[in-house]
Structure 1
C-alpha cells in the first residue's frame, strides 16, 4: 500500500524524480507530446514539464487526473514510481491490475498480478488466475506486439483467429497479438493459473 498524506509528493511517500521519470516514459510509450497529455488530463503543460523534470509538489487530485490520462490507476502510478529502478517485485507486494473491459459479464473475473516492477516497461510479465469456465470470447484482444503464455496449472484454450490451441500444465504458447485472440478455462471446477509475457499496448 502506498502511503500518502495531503501531498502525494511527501518526502516519506514518493520520490518526485522517480515519478517524473515514470510519467515521461508512460507518455512517450503512448506516443503523446506534453501538450497532448496536458489536453487529455486537463493539466497545464508547464506543470507537466516541471513534474517530468522531477520538480514540484503535485496533489493527489493532480496525480489522479494524470493517471487517468495515462490509462492507469493512481495506485499503480504511485507504485511504479516507488519501484522505479528497483528490479525485484516481492511475492507479497504484487500490484493487482485492473480488470480488462469486463463488459456485461457478471461472472467471476480473473485476477491479474503484475510481476515486473514497472507497468510501463517494454515488457510486462503477468500472473493470471482464471476461474472455472471463464472466457473472454465476447471481447477478444487485438493489439500490436507478441505474447508468450505458460500454463502453471489447470487447462487453457487459446483461440487465435479461427484456430484453437488446447494447453495443459507445463505447455507454452507464443503468438503475434495483431490477430484477434481470446482465452478460455474449459474446466467447470478448477482454476487455471498462467504466466504471460507481453509487449504492453497503449490506450
Structure 2
C-alpha cells in the first residue's frame, strides 16, 4: 500500500472477513470435513474456525495459509469476493464443485468449474474420474443438454439404452433428461471436459 492510499474502511474489512468465512465453509463442506476435522488437519483452533465461518474475528495470514493448505486450495480461493470475476477464471482460482462419489476419497470425482460462478446458462466443468469410478448405481437425470470431450483415459457413457466408449479426443452430446451414467474404463484417471446448458434441443 502506498502512503497516499486511503486506509481500508471498517466496513470493507468486515466484508472481507464475511467473504472469507463464506469461502471457508464452502470449501470445508466440499471435502465433507467437520469443524473439528478441519481444526485438527490445519492446526487452527476450533473456536477460530467457527468464529470465522460466522463472518467474525480477525484471521492472521498464518491461519489462512494453514486453512488453505488443509483444504487443498490456493489461499486466493479463501480471499475471493463471493461473485468473483464475471468473465475470467484464472487457472489457479478455479472453483471446486462438491465432490461426487461418496466418502471413499480414492473414488471421489474432482470437479473444477471453468466458467464464472455467476454464469448460470452455461457451465464448463473439468472432471477427473479416479480408477474404478462408476455411478451406474445412481445415474443422473436432470434438465438440460451436455456435451463432453475426453482429454485422457477412457470414458464409458450409458445414455438410456445406448452404451458408448470414448477415447481421448472423442465427444458426445446428449439430453440430460434421459437417465445416464459415467464410468472410468481406463487403468488411469480419466479426464473429461463437459459443457452443460439448462436448455434442451
TM class by shorter chain equals 0.5 to 0.7
Pairing 1:126-137 to 2, within 5 Å after superposition: 126-137=125-136
Aligned pair 1:156/2:155, yes or no?
yes
Contact 1:151/1:193 (CA < 8 Å) preserved in 2? yes
Partner of 1:194: 192
Q: CA deviation at 1:80?
A: 6.9
Q: CA deviation at 1:199?
A: 2.3
1:147-180 CA distances to partner (integer Å, 9 max, x unpaired)? Answer: 0000011110100012101100000000000011
Report the 3-state secondary structure (helix = DSSP H, G, I; strand = E; otherwise coil) of the residue aligned with 2:97: coil
Higher Cα Rg: structure 1 or 2?
2
Pairing 1:24-39 to 2, within 5 Å after superposition: none
**Aligned-partner Cα distance in 1 for 2:105–2:90:** 31
Contact 1:158/1:184 (CA < 8 Å) preserved in 2? yes
User: Unmatched 5+ residue regions in structure 1?
Assistant: 1-6, 17-58, 63-75
> TM-score w.r.t. structure 1 length?
0.57
> Taking structure 1 as reference, are residues 80 and 97 closer, same or farther at Cα in structure 2, changes over 3 Å only?
farther
Contact 2:18/2:53 (CA < 8 Å) preserved in 1? no
> Taking structure 1 as reference, are residues 142 and 80 closer, same or farther at Cα in structure 2, changes over 3 Å only?
farther
Moved over 3 A (4+): 7-12, 59-62, 102-107
